Amino acid sequence: MNWLSDFARPKLKALLGDRNTPDNLWVKCPNCGEMIFHRDIEAAHHVCPSCSHHMRISPEQRLAMIFDEGKYEVLELPEVPVDPLKFKDEKKYTDRLKEARNKSQHRDAMVASVGKLKGLDVVALVQNFGFMGGSLGMAAGEGFIKAAETALERKVPFIAFTAAGGARMQEGILSLMQMPRTTILVEMLKEAGLPYVVVLTDPTTGGVTASYAMLGDVHIAEPGALIGFAGPRVIKQTIREDLPEGFQRAEYLLDHGMVDMVVNRHDLRDTLARIISLLMNVELAVQDSKPGAPITELGEEKEDDKITVIEEAEPKQADRAEEEASDAEQNSEEEEIKLAASVMNSDDAATVTEPQSGDAPEIQLKAEPEVKSDASKPKIKPLPTIEQRGELAGQTP
């Protein structure tokens, strides 16, 4: 009996289990189609070894990659009213939220954390594209504000990793209000002389690009990341012209002065540490520490769970992204269209889209590293409290 239960059964299980392994153990690169063993792709920070395509990664993977020894503390983010507009399209917004929460194990699209980057204390915020397209709603806005406030309290630099399909249309005007609210916090960081570094990841679009994602002291973009306001298809339909090659991709934006640098994920940690030490005028305490495995206070069992979730999600993404125009773009475009149609009237939507491209050089000027001592800008008073929220709500309609 021992031989049967201890030897034969595990062997049989292993044989049967093999049927499921290709899905979980191999990740297909959405760009070149190469099948990569999951350990290899994890070790390569989800950058394809053959074509250098930067795949999307979870907030946990992102933070573990940045912080010393992969250790960080997750900040608790404020609760916000759920579905104040009682929004419903094909599904109820509350159902969509529940689904996204179950799938991602997160409350909303933002994960804020504090930790050490080569010995320097920093606050890092990651926008999770996996959670309803990273859309900027009230919870995401509050998440950004909480993270920025923590940076202000502790007098440490603030790094934001952006990824979004735009504003969360299910929250209508309340989601659009997060644009001025987050902008105010960026202004407060600048007044306090604290660096605010933005890492634009694939894709950063819509209201996020139109607010905090383009207001950093330094803008870093990951290679190949889609960055823009309206998606390429919407622009093409509007101007009725073919768009140049690589339009709205990180490298194109670098050539046109919209971002300061395009940095490979493997060099991101070093680059961030160098920029922050320069801006803070401090020496790096740790020169050669390396990011470790994702070890957080979440515990190891949870880590395992998460890894399996990610592995299941990746191949699906890869399958879906057969064409260059990925779901993300479509989603963000659809969201933009829907948002434009439902929240603003069509005239307003047109005026929002047009100045965006015209304003590009102006944004670039604002994004120069020396903005810290900028006193010429109109000072915006901080208004992060509930009273202010009330005032804003009263004015907008």
Options 25, 38, 44, 53; binder of Zn ion; rule CB under 5 A: 53
Residue 379, sorted as left (phi over 0), alpha (psi -120 to 50) or beta, turns out to be beta
Contact flag: residue 35 with Zn ion (CB under 5 A): no
From residue 102, alpha-carbon distances to 11, 78, 85, 236 in Å are 34, 19, 22, 36
**Buried/exposed code over 103-120 (b: 16+ C-beta within 10 A; e: otherwise):** ebebbbbbbbbbbbbbeb
> Residue 182 is which amino acid?
T
Q: Which is nearer to Zn ion, 53 or 338 (CB)?
A: 53
Site string for Zn ion, 376-395 (x = CB under 5 A): --------------------
User: What is the nearest approach in angstroms of Zn ion to the Cβ of residue 49?
Assistant: 8
Of residues 2-31, those binding Zn ion (CB under 5 A): 29, 31
What tokens does 106 get? 């997160």
Burial class (CB in 10 A: 0-12, 13-18, 19+), 13: exposed
| Tokens 């404020």 found at | 78
Listing from the earlier edge strand, what are the strands of the sheet with 218-221? Answer: 72-74, 110-117, 120-127, 158-164, 196-204, 218-221, 261-262
Is residue 224 at the binding interface for Zn ion, with CB under 5 A as the rule? no
Name which of 28 and 146 has its Cβ closer to Zn ion.
28
Residue 36 interacts with Zn ion (CB under 5 A): yes or no: no
CA distance 105 to 245: 38
Q: How distant, in Å, are the alpha carbons of 122, 242, 347 from that of 195?
A: 10, 38, 37
Q: Which is nearer to Zn ion, 51 or 85 (CB)?
A: 51
47 binds Zn ion (CB under 5 A): no
Tokens 């390429």 found at: 232
Closest to Zn ion by CB, 44 vs 254, is 44
Residue 55 binds Zn ion, judged by CB under 5 A: no
Indicate which single residue of 27, 41, 47, 48 sits in contact with Zn ion (rule: CB under 5 A): 48
Give the binding-site size for Zn ion (rule: CB under 5 A): 7
- Token digits for 226? 């889609």
Shortest distance (Å) from residue 35 CB to Zn ion: 10
Minimum distance, C-beta of residue 110 to Zn ion, in the bound complex (Å): 29
Q: Indicate the residue among 32 and 282 with the shorter CB distance to Zn ion.
A: 32
The one segment of 1-9, 32-40, 131-139, 218-226 that binds Zn ion by CB under 5 A: 32-40
Q: Is 51 in the site for Zn ion (CB under 5 A)?
A: yes
| Residues found near Zn ion in the complex (CB under 5 A) | 29, 31-32, 34, 48, 51, 53
